[in-house]
Structure 1
Amino acid sequence: MTAAEDCLFCKIVAGDIPADVVHESETVLAFRDLNPQAPTHVLVIPRSHHANAAELGEAAPATLVELVSAAAKVAGDEGLGEQYRLVFNTGADTGQTVFHTHLHVLGGRSFTWPPG
């Protein structure tokens, strides 16, 4: 599975929609969230289309690992050190609005538990 015609993130990967890219590799792309929930809020996505993290893990586990590795690199590049939160949302009831796997990298402020 490589791209979905109506997927916002696939259009970003294709370069059809601009994004503030902070990291990229052959398999992943990281860009700033347009509606940040923290001073640092970056989305890390696979270049291939998979609806959620579980689907990606089943189809391409190495890419799922690369998402997390890229997220750690982004956190370091953004000056977050080891103080950041990683979030995958799976399904509409959890707040997933774009059904293309994406890992949120959040940092730069204190967070509470449990989240929202």
Structure 2
Amino acid sequence: MDNCIFCKIARREIPSNKIYEDEEILAFNDINPAAPIHFLLIPKLHIDSLSATEDNHQDLLGKMLLLAPKLAKEQGCEDGFRTIINTGRVGGQEIFHLHFHIIGGRERLPVMIHHG
């Protein structure tokens, strides 16, 4: 996608603070971190959201999920981290390119959703 900011980052048209890259996946620090450790894990292939994934994305999604804890530990999340995938407008997705937020580096992260 020509106007997608994450596609531009993957193509190196926009700089990022990269922490990992291979042929299919890129990980980089979030520019507006919610915690001391906050990076994004994206597929280089443009997929709008988790809802847009199909059977042929299974290997890519599995690779991303297996990579998340390895990178989290390398970045300093020794005792846990949070993985967030916002999906769609109602789910809080702001950039419509599938991405995982990996967040940690605090004693304990705050509760995400309060029951009411």
**TM-score of the superposed pair, with normalisation by structure 2:** 0.89
The one of 102, 111, 114 aligned to 1:113: 111
SS at match of 1:5: coil
**Which deviations, in whole Å up to 9, do the C-alpha atoms of 1:62-81 show, x marking residues without a partner?**
11111112211211111212
What amino acid does structure 2 have at the position aligned with 1:21?
K
Q: Does 1:56 align with 2:25?
A: no
Match of 2:87 in 1: 90
CA displacement at 1:57 relative to structure 2? 4.7
Q: Which runs of structure 1 show a deviation greater than 6 angstroms over 4 or more consecutive aligned residues?
A: none
Aligned length: 113
> Which sections of structure 2, spanning at least 5 residues, go unmatched?
none
Compare CA radii of gyration and give the structure with the larger one.
2
Shift of 1:59: 4.0
Matches within 5 A, 1:1-116: 4-109=1-106, 110-115=108-113
C-alpha RMSD of the superposition: 1.5
Whether the 8 Å contact between 1:56 and 1:63 is mirrored in structure 2 is: no
| TM-superposed deviation, 1:92 | 1.6
Compute the TM-score of the two structures, normalised by the length of structure 1: 0.89
Change (3 A) 1:113 1:52: same
Matches of 1:57 and 1:74 in 2, distance apart?
Answer: 25
How far apart, CA to CA, are the structure 1 residues paired with 2:23 and 2:100?
17
